[in-house]
Amino acid sequence: MAGRYMVLRPMLFSMITLAIMIATAVESCPTPPAVLHSVIIAACSTEPARSAIGCSMYRFCGDGTLQPAIFPQLCTTWNIASSLCNDDANIVSSLALCNQLRAPYTGDAQFRSCLPPYPINSTSAIKALHLHACDEMEGYPGDPMAGCDTCTDVSCPDPLASLSAGCIGMPMGQCEGLDALCALGASVLCKKNLEDAPMRPPSPPPDQAPISAMKPPAMTSATCMTDSSSMLCTSYEYPLDNITSDLASLCTSMTYMPGCTIRAACQAGNVTGDFCRPMTLLATICVDMPSMGGCKSYVALCKNTSVVQQCRSFPAIPGLPTTAQAKLAVVAGLCAANRTAMTPAVQNLTTVMCAACNQLSCRDYLTPLSSICSISPGLNGCSTYENWCGDSTDWEASDGSSISLFCKQTSPSLPTTSPPSSMTCVTDSSSMLCASYEYPLANITSDLASLCTSMAYMPGCTIRAACQAGNVTGDFCRPMTLLATICVDMPSMGGCKSYVALCKNTSVVQQCRSFPAIPGLPTTAQAKLAVVAGLCAANRTAMTPAAQNLTTVMCAACNQLSCRDYLTPLSSICSISPGLNGCSTYENWCGDSTDWEASDGSSISLFCKQTSPSLPTTSPPSSMTCVTDSSSMLCASYEYPLANITSDLASLCTSMAYMPGCTIRAACQAGNVTGDFCRPMTLLATICVDMPSMGGCKSYVALCKNTSVVQQCRSFPA
């Protein structure tokens, strides 16, 4: 499976197109043949096309329950057909439709240029990506990856739907192509930016209505829709039900259009009167975006030659900026302005507003435009705001008409909660203003919790758990260091999104350089390879009995299918058998960590073990030499301190709670086992006879070796 993944993944992403609707010169593209819905339905009724990306998109486009719906521009029959006819060879060859669709074009290059497919256009490739991700997650604790039960090697009726389910719950590097499709207007498939609509791709030809587009409205006079210049249509009125339906369709697809922002304010009662007349709102949106499906009837009815009086009685809101104008004013104007010259109040407001409205996404352009420009009108972009409010003055003079929510007379109230020192530093960490920015500790802690709940077996998460138990200390345990360690390993995970954006190559944020990843720590893939393919596959007949026993136990709990923790077997086995295949990974890691260990209070000796045991840091023995030379007759009466025994037991049973000695310890703590079985030194002896190479057994093994004269070792046997 891994081989198939490695071959197909680059093939998939090499075929990602720059955008789904590339503007192509009309003279270079022949008029494509009409593609009827009945043709698509027939094509998608049998395999292999039924499982193809195009047919899956056709089903998603027709699903009226999706929130938000797939953008109409992605749902034209031309797009569906182009996807099918640019898919895998077995799909293309099964469809007579493809020969007909390609006929007007000189070759594949022109066909793809004129009717480009979706960003993902190989069904077999996305299936392979999904199955590989499922294989990677098989056997690990926690809930299984979504979609793995609906798509297997045996049966996978809808690879796109299964990939979508997996990427929503557990993105593991298999989702880049899907993310590109989602960004074009299918955000429901990724569950990302559901409110913040992506940039609108160019609209399809108006005579190719998508499945979800509104049907032509029922008319009093059918001729008025097709020929609104007829004098018989002067008094015709487009029905209110149709207007309402068109508005709902338009503002579900692209809520960020200024006309839709005004409509929402009208519904909330914050804008009133003439600004809220349904036909006025429809006119406002369709003057802005005339090629959208929901505007088809309005554009036909109210074209330049129309005599329909309703079109003149309910014009678009005067001066309201189009989507493109509003975006330009906010993103390229206000949010790009030099904030050092702003007052603290304006800086604060601009930071908050621009964090939620940027080049990639924005739920609403009018709110930042009006909020910022009403208190700082001299900023670049505010002329758009001033022109709009100036042009709306006459309408505001009408009884009951108000747009003062946006065209303010006084300064707005500022946000009650302060943002981080610079919210924009996460999205634009190359700004010199961000050099001293620090990603908040609360966010780091939240990201770490999310990451280590999803994939506790990542080496960075194993170190984090050891830090929490007090077994690893100092620089290795700094929260930002742990986050860096995990995100260098698994940058595509959801919990790493902020870190990856903040600490990219061009970042000037000093925090990223002050808290690098733990040096030399193997990635998840490297650790798995070293343990599973190296140590656990080694010839055990050449090992010492102790190494054989340890390897057998460790590899039973950590294999190709599942592993709770790769670092413990790696360090435990390699510390006593350094010549085994895979131990170079361990040696490189521990070698690279030497400088950090030299720092005051920094220790990773739980994993990177020294040849001679480190002495207990708390309550040292009365004679330090007894731990390193227990054969000295001076040590006969020496007793290893109870505090050290307790600490060693906690360390051992936190790492490997399933050891029999730890099970007895837990039963003692619960009161279910009593007496001599529960003596602390007896429990430590029991565990260390079983697992002598573990870090927590260092002191016991040195103290109670065969030549030891320490009476305590004999008084408290296993």
Assess whether 206 and 239 both reside in one domain.
Answer: no
Confidence of residue 641 (pLDDT cuts 50, 70, 90): confident
pLDDT at 29 over 90: no
Assess whether 90 and 164 both reside in one domain.
Answer: yes
Lowest mean pLDDT among 32-36, 88-92, 455-459: 32-36
Assess whether 206 and 349 both reside in one domain.
Answer: no
pLDDT of residue 537: 86
Assess whether 255 and 299 both reside in one domain.
Answer: yes
> How far apart are the C-alpha atoms of 222 and 118, rounded to whole Å?
37
pLDDT of residue 224: 85
- From 313, 333, 367, give the residue that closes a domain: 313
* 3-class SS string, 483-550: HHHHHHHCCCCHHHHHHHHHCCCCCCCHHHHHCCCCCCCCCHHHHHHHHHHHHHHCCHHHCCHHHHHH
Could you tell me if residue 99 is inside a domain? yes
Could you tell me if residue 486 is inside a domain? no
- From 331, 363, 396, give the residue that closes a domain: 396
Q: How far is CA 273 from CA 136, 263, 389, 403, in A?
A: 59, 12, 16, 9
Assess whether 145 and 252 both reside in one domain.
Answer: no
Instruction: Tell me what the pLDDT averaged over the chain comes to.
Output: 81
Assess whether 175 and 303 both reside in one domain.
Answer: no
Could you tell me if residue 437 is inside a domain? no
pLDDT at 22 over 60: no
pLDDT (tens digit per residue) in 375-422? 888 888 899 999 999 888 888 887 778 898 898 754 333 333 333 444
Domain count within the chain: 5
Could you tell me if residue 261 is inside a domain? yes
Could you tell me if residue 365 is inside a domain? yes
Q: Kindly tell me the sign of the dihedral angle through the C-alpha atoms of 428, 429, 433, 437.
A: positive
Compute the radius of gyration of the chain from its Cα atoms. Answer: 34
> How far apart are the C-alpha atoms of 186 and 198, rounded to whole Å?
9
pLDDT (tens digit per residue) in 234-267? 888 899 989 999 999 999 988 889 999 999 989 9
Burial of 417 (0-12, 13-18, 19+ CB in 10 A): exposed
Assess whether 638 and 542 both reside in one domain.
Answer: no
Burial of 174 (0-12, 13-18, 19+ CB in 10 A): buried
Domain that residue 3 falls in: 1-211
Residues in the chain: 718
Assess whether 44 and 121 both reside in one domain.
Answer: yes
pLDDT at 487 over 80: yes
Confidence of residue 12 (pLDDT cuts 50, 70, 90): very low
Assess whether 251 and 336 both reside in one domain.
Answer: no
Could you tell me if residue 72 is inside a domain? yes
> How far apart are the C-alpha atoms of 554 and 693, rounded to whole Å?
12
Paired tokens of 371: 């909020």
Could you tell me if residue 150 is inside a domain? yes
- From 211, 238, 261, give the residue that closes a domain: 211
pLDDT (tens digit per residue) in 200-211? 334 333 334 333
Query: Do 486 and 478 contact (CB within 8 A), yes or no?
Result: no
Paired tokens of 248: 């709902």
Report the share of the chain in percent with pLDDT over 70: 86
Assess whether 171 and 276 both reside in one domain.
Answer: no
pLDDT at 505 over 70: yes
Confidence of residue 578 (pLDDT cuts 50, 70, 90): confident
pLDDT of residue 673: 87
Assess whether 54 and 74 both reside in one domain.
Answer: yes
Interacting residues of 350 by C-beta distance below 8 A, sequence separation 6+: 334, 335, 337, 339, 342, 372
pLDDT of residue 618: 35
pLDDT of residue 79: 86
Bridge partners (DSSP) of residue 402 are: 272
Average pLDDT over residues 136-156: 79
pTM: 0.34
Confidence of residue 192 (pLDDT cuts 50, 70, 90): low
Paired tokens of 208: 């190719």
Assess whether 68 and 194 both reside in one domain.
Answer: yes
User: Measured in whole angstroms, how far is the alpha carbon of residue 218 from the centre of its chain?
Assistant: 44
pLDDT at 594 over 90: no
